[in-house]
Chain A
Amino acid sequence: MTSRIRQFALRIAAIFRRDSLDCELDAEMRAHLDLAIEENLEAGMTPQQARRQALIRFGGPQQAKEIHRDARGLPFVETFLQDLRFAARLLKKSPGFTVVSVLTLALGIGATTAIFSVVYGVLLRPLPYHNPQQIVRLWEQGATGVRMRFAERNFDDVRAQNRCLSGIAVFDSGLSTVTRHGDATRVQATSVTRDFFDVMGVQPVFGRAFSPDEQRLNASPAGLVSYAYWQQTLGGTRDLSSIRLKLDNHPLSIVGVLPPGFRFPDNSDIWIPREISQETPSRSAHNDQLIGHLRDGLSVDQARADLNTIAQRLKQQYGPGTDMVAVVIEPLRRAMTNDVRPALIVLLVASAFLLLIACANVTNLMLAQAAARERELAVRAVLGAERGRLIRQFLTEAFLLSSIGGVCGVLLAYWGLKGLLALAPANLPRLEDVSINVPVLLFSVLAVALVSIALTLFTALRSTSRDGLNEGSRSGIGTRNKRRMGRLLAAAQLAAALILLVGATLLGRSLLRVLSVNAGFRTQNVATMEIGLPFDAPKADRADFLDRLVTRLRRIPGVDHVGGTNKLPLSDSGFADGSFAPMNPSQISPHVQDLIRRSNSENLANMDPALMSELIAFFDDLFRDKSHLGYADFVVASAGYFPTLGIPLLEGRLFDERDTSDAPHVAVISQSLARQTWPNQDPIGRTIEFGNMDGDLRLLTIVGVVGDVRDHSLESAPPPTVYVDFRQRPQVAWTFTFVMHTSSNPESVFGAARSILHDLDPNIPPRFNTLSQVYSASLEVRRFSLTLIGMFSVIAVLLASAGIYGVISYSVAQRTREIGVRMALGATTREVLIMVLKQSLITGAIGISVGLFGCFALTRLLQSQLFEISPSDPITLCGVSILLLMVSLAACSIPGRRAARIDPATALRCE
């Protein structure tokens, strides 16, 4: 074994010592000949005879040298180095070709590498947690197949009864107000149940984890902080007990610091125990987000089976009281990236197309180059070079070209990635994990290898075919084959460019359609101010505070209307929706009415349990028959909200001064809800029970119908909505966004609004924005995709036109003599022009047809990205096809005119 290694080492050394070893061999051979000649002289030959005989017996010295070299070194490596030197010389000789090829390849490889680095960072890279592939997200699945958040009691049962998870926890994340040294800021805080950190596989690096005492009902909040927050905001102080923080006006004691880099979920900075808040008993209150850790060795499918059994058991036990019939389980990484995955894959495919076009371009260039070296290749073949050897030469040239292109491409990608990340939607998950790292570099190396092979395949096989020497004259049949190959490549480029351009156009038209959607509200000149109110402020205080704020904001000069809501359209905050029961007040007995009244004036927790269960039984009954229930979003708003946002009042009235907290509670509903629940009837005056949303069981009387609002996204239908007045039902308005319609630039009122808020309560930090920014933020992902694919398709069209221009140009140059003959025999310039254009037309037509076929084949890929337009939209396909046809004809008109201007005399003379 060691002898093999030793031999290998000696062989490698021999490559480097080539010159000295050759020298030694020369000396040995000379000595050998001298001795042979001497012997011959002694045998009686003449000096010339002696020398001649000695040389004959020795054999060919050159051959001896070659066999020696092969025996002592690594022939493969040495020929490769030789080819590399030859290839480098070749590239230096034709700088134009080299620069163009390198740039083209750099473009293709750079684009693909940049996109792949995003794809890798977002979709493929393992999450930075312990055993990340075993971490899963869980949802309840309803009878209709829809996935919903978990109900707390269901979570408790799943936690107790499962056998497939080593840990399971609930997390709930949101912005909270943190006050420190009198300054208030909004910080992302998450409440978690006791196994959360075990599931994620993290332990505090400083301090300690929560103690059981801190994880019970009504305990004083203890908190864990992120490393970054500890270092930057808390000054990295090692005495945690000295930190004085208030979270939503409650004193928070910090007990530990988590490892650097851990900020799950949503870039949280503070974690508190979930157990300090009251549990929601209803099994149909879908509030909880679940995360779990699979036991070692168990698969997702096995876990699903186990959890589904529990779900069915619970369904049997509680019947209509629970909505869950199965459990949806998905690995965390998949769950986090579901939304962006289709878009990213489309981008990757698009960049791959660009690379293919770049390759085809360079192949054509190399083919043209190879044609110039025909003679050299023919001679080498005749002298005994095997075809394999010549192909290796081409491979080395292609490899050198691709490597240089690859290095430039990676540099281009590094530079371009910065631009890409700046352009990327801010809510792209795992954006911080995107960089040019080792796996990405390996990918680019793979790309370079594939490109080299592709380039070689086309050029080498073509150029090293046996009929090399027969192609003495340039207008032989063999070159026609080459020209046809060139035209096929140009057609392939056109096909790929067509696919890209169609994709970009479809995306562009989708974006235009989304932009033209009627959002249902005004997006210009509206300023927004978002604030967070303490969770447990008394209802009346909260309503009063908001009311005073609204009144004062209205007085700002330049503000026409002021309103507020707890759910701003198109914003990231989650929405609340649920079932409501339309009912007649007469259905409620006076006894139950009294109970309802008491449940609201007294603290629900202090109410007599027997009476509570009476109430619960009454409402369970009501909600049992799902067929006459309605379903809607539940939004808390102010009277001014509708005119501020330009939401039209279609029937009845909006909230006004009559609607105080003691008056009968009122609601305003959206048009689609009216049509859905009370078709062909007048909804005004009807009453509904929607207390499951905020705990207030008083009936809501519908007083008005307003226009629909595309609340969730511009691309989905407006949800049916019930709006309640914040003065009557402020319970779920923990965050409230004020909207102000201004006559001029909305940003001008930020300062005034900030000081008004500060006067009323300096401990509440506001977040300002404008509605037009919210609107464009919702289009970010679309715009990002479109920008990139648009760029790719423009580059692709340019490359493809350069490709077809090059091919037709070359063809004209090759056929100069033939054209000269034709013209001498009487062809007119027009006929020559038509001949050239006909060739281009055929090439273009083939390319476009193949491209169209490809479009049909790839439609499914793009489907999820389009909005109200079919992937095989005929107008788009026709338009792009015609455009490309015209572009190729235009590109070919130049060589066409050149052909037409050929002077037969000079053409026939040149060879």
Chain B
Amino acid sequence: MSDSKLDLLQGTLDLMVLQTLSTMGPNHGYGIARRIEQISGNEVLLNQGTIYASLVRLQQRGWITAEWGTSDNNRKAKFYSITKRGRKQLHDDAAYWQRLSIVMSRVLSMPEEEPNS
């Protein structure tokens, strides 16, 4: 049971990370995790540690890049930023999700059929 939940989260979490980086600009892992939590109205309860698996996946696919830098209060942190390929992927995935959600809501709000009298 736990396996399937993780799978679902893998793809969607990656998408959320890309979106965050696209709108917020370069950020470190903590910042990205906090942002996702805030934006989703704290409805997404994930272990913040799982962000890092998502980040390494996105790195391997070439959709984000990473660089060590210093944060606002002079802490050393690894900063991630979205790449051009990442933006394209984000655009495609977002379009897909939009279409999917429209179709799903249409299907799920289908009224009960009256039997033909």
Q: Identify which of residues 53-96 in chain B touch chain A, using a CB-to-CB cut-off of 8 Å.
A: 53-54, 56-57, 60-62, 71, 73, 75-78
The answer to whether B62 touches A3 (Cβ under 8 A) is: yes
B-chain residues with CB within 8 Å of residue A28 when the two chains form the complex = 28-29, 52, 77-78
In the complex, how many residue pairs between chain A and chain B have their CB atoms under 8 Å apart? 80
A-chain residues with CB within 8 Å of residue B60 when the two chains form the complex = 6-7, 10-11, 72
The answer to whether A59 touches B48 (Cβ under 8 A) is: yes
Check if A695 is an interface residue, CB within 8 A of chain B. no
Q: Identify which of residues 54-76 in chain A touch chain B, using a CB-to-CB cut-off of 8 Å.
A: 57-61, 63-64, 67-68, 70-72
Looking across the interface, which residue of chain B has its beta carbon closest to that of A59?
A: B47
Looking across the interface, which residue of chain B has its beta carbon closest to that of A4?
A: B61
Check if A38 is an interface residue, CB within 8 A of chain B. yes
Bound Cα distance A242, B114 (Å): 111
Check if A84 is an interface residue, CB within 8 A of chain B. no
The answer to whether B57 touches A32 (Cβ under 8 A) is: no
The answer to whether B61 touches A35 (Cβ under 8 A) is: no
The answer to whether A38 touches B52 (Cβ under 8 A) is: no
Bound Cα distance A28, B80 (Å): 12
The answer to whether A35 touches B50 (Cβ under 8 A) is: no
With contacts A58-B49, A67-B50 taken as known, whether A34 is within 8 angstroms of B56 at the C-beta atoms is: no
CB proximity of B64 to chain A, nearest CB, Å: 14
The answer to whether A64 touches B52 (Cβ under 8 A) is: yes
The answer to whether A35 touches B53 (Cβ under 8 A) is: no
With contacts A38-B73, A58-B47, A59-B48 taken as known, whether A64 is within 8 angstroms of B28 at the C-beta atoms is: no
B-chain residues with CB within 8 Å of residue A35 when the two chains form the complex = 28, 30-31, 71, 75, 77
The answer to whether A31 touches B49 (Cβ under 8 A) is: no
Check if A346 is an interface residue, CB within 8 A of chain B. no
The answer to whether B76 touches A63 (Cβ under 8 A) is: no
The answer to whether B47 touches A60 (Cβ under 8 A) is: yes
Check if A29 is an interface residue, CB within 8 A of chain B. yes
Looking across the interface, which residue of chain B has its beta carbon closest to that of A11?
A: B60
Which of A3, A31, A57, A71 makes the CB contact (< 8 A) with B78?
Answer: A31
The answer to whether B48 touches A58 (Cβ under 8 A) is: yes
Looking across the interface, which residue of chain B has its beta carbon closest to that of A39?
A: B34
Check if A391 is an interface residue, CB within 8 A of chain B. no
Check if A25 is an interface residue, CB within 8 A of chain B. yes
CB proximity of A536 to chain B, nearest CB, Å: 85
The answer to whether B48 touches A32 (Cβ under 8 A) is: yes
The answer to whether B52 touches A29 (Cβ under 8 A) is: yes
The answer to whether B53 touches A64 (Cβ under 8 A) is: yes
Bound Cα distance A378, B47 (Å): 30
The answer to whether A60 touches B49 (Cβ under 8 A) is: yes
Tell me if A's interface is mostly helix, strand, loop or mixed. helix
Bound Cα distance A10, B56 (Å): 11
B-chain residues with CB within 8 Å of residue A36 when the two chains form the complex = 30, 48
Query: How big is the A interface, by class?
Result: 20 to 34
Q: Identify which of residues 16-32 in chain A touch chain B, using a CB-to-CB cut-off of 8 Å.
A: 24-25, 27-29, 31-32
The answer to whether A64 touches B47 (Cβ under 8 A) is: yes
Which of B30, B47, B53, B78 makes the CB contact (< 8 A) with A68?
Answer: B53
Bound Cα distance A461, B76 (Å): 51
CB proximity of B40 to chain A, nearest CB, Å: 14
The answer to whether A34 touches B75 (Cβ under 8 A) is: yes
Looking across the interface, which residue of chain A has its beta carbon closest to that of B31?
A: A35
Looking across the interface, which residue of chain B has its beta carbon closest to that of A35?
A: B30
Which of A10, A29, A72 makes the CB contact (< 8 A) with B49?
Answer: A29
Looking across the interface, which residue of chain A has its beta carbon closest to that of B46?
A: A59
With contacts A3-B62, A64-B53, A70-B53 taken as known, whether A31 is within 8 angstroms of B28 at the C-beta atoms is: yes
Binary interface encoding of chain B residues 28-48 relative to chain A, with 1 for a CB under 8 A from any of its CBs, else 0: 111101100000000000111
B-chain residues with CB within 8 Å of residue A25 when the two chains form the complex = 52
CB proximity of A784 to chain B, nearest CB, Å: 60
A-chain residues with CB within 8 Å of residue B71 when the two chains form the complex = 31, 35
CB proximity of A32 to chain B, nearest CB, Å: 4
With contacts A3-B62, A10-B60, A68-B56 taken as known, whether A61 is within 8 angstroms of B49 at the C-beta atoms is: yes
Bound Cα distance A11, B59 (Å): 11
The answer to whether A59 touches B50 (Cβ under 8 A) is: yes
Looking across the interface, which residue of chain A has its beta carbon closest to that of B73?
A: A38
With contacts A3-B61, A35-B77, A68-B52 taken as known, whether A63 is within 8 angstroms of B47 at the C-beta atoms is: yes
CB proximity of B95 to chain A, nearest CB, Å: 20
B-chain residues with CB within 8 Å of residue A61 when the two chains form the complex = 49
The answer to whether B77 touches A59 (Cβ under 8 A) is: no
B-chain residues with CB within 8 Å of residue A27 when the two chains form the complex = 76, 78
The answer to whether A32 touches B30 (Cβ under 8 A) is: yes
Looking across the interface, which residue of chain B has its beta carbon closest to that of A7?
A: B60
Bound Cα distance A71, B54 (Å): 8
The answer to whether A64 touches B50 (Cβ under 8 A) is: yes
CB proximity of B90 to chain A, nearest CB, Å: 16
Bound Cα distance A68, B59 (Å): 12
Looking across the interface, which residue of chain B has its beta carbon closest to that of A6?
A: B62
A-chain residues with CB within 8 Å of residue B34 when the two chains form the complex = 39
Most chain A beta-carbon contacts within 10 A, residue among B50, B54, B56: B56
Bound Cα distance A240, B54 (Å): 79
CB proximity of A12 to chain B, nearest CB, Å: 11
Bound Cα distance A72, B34 (Å): 23
A-chain residues with CB within 8 Å of residue B75 when the two chains form the complex = 31, 34-35
A-chain residues with CB within 8 Å of residue B77 when the two chains form the complex = 28, 31-32, 35
With contacts A7-B61, A38-B73 taken as known, whether A71 is within 8 angstroms of B53 at the C-beta atoms is: yes
The answer to whether A64 touches B49 (Cβ under 8 A) is: yes
CB proximity of A895 to chain B, nearest CB, Å: 49
CB proximity of A705 to chain B, nearest CB, Å: 93
Bound Cα distance A58, B49 (Å): 5
Looking across the interface, which residue of chain B has its beta carbon closest to that of A58?
A: B48
Looking across the interface, which residue of chain B has its beta carbon closest to that of A62?
A: B49
Looking across the interface, which residue of chain B has its beta carbon closest to that of A71?
A: B53
A-chain residues with CB within 8 Å of residue B56 when the two chains form the complex = 68, 71-72
CB proximity of A35 to chain B, nearest CB, Å: 4
Bound Cα distance A804, B6 (Å): 51
A-chain residues with CB within 8 Å of residue B57 when the two chains form the complex = 71-72
Bound Cα distance A31, B54 (Å): 17
Bound Cα distance A71, B55 (Å): 9
The answer to whether B53 touches A67 (Cβ under 8 A) is: yes
Bound Cα distance A68, B30 (Å): 15
B-chain residues with CB within 8 Å of residue A39 when the two chains form the complex = 34
A-B contact pairs, 6 of them (CB 8 A): A28-B78, A31-B28, A32-B29, A57-B48, A63-B49, A64-B52
A interface residues with partner B (beta carbon < 8 Å): 3, 6-7, 10-11, 24-25, 27-29, 31-32, 34-36, 38-39, 57-61, 63-64, 67-68, 70-72
B interface residues with partner A (beta carbon < 8 Å): 28-31, 33-34, 46-50, 52-54, 56-57, 60-62, 71, 73, 75-78
A32-B48, A71-B53, A72-B57 are known contacts; what are 14 more A-B pairs with Cβ within 8 Å?
A7-B60, A10-B60, A28-B29, A31-B75, A32-B28, A32-B77, A58-B48, A61-B49, A64-B47, A67-B49, A67-B52, A68-B53, A71-B56, A72-B53
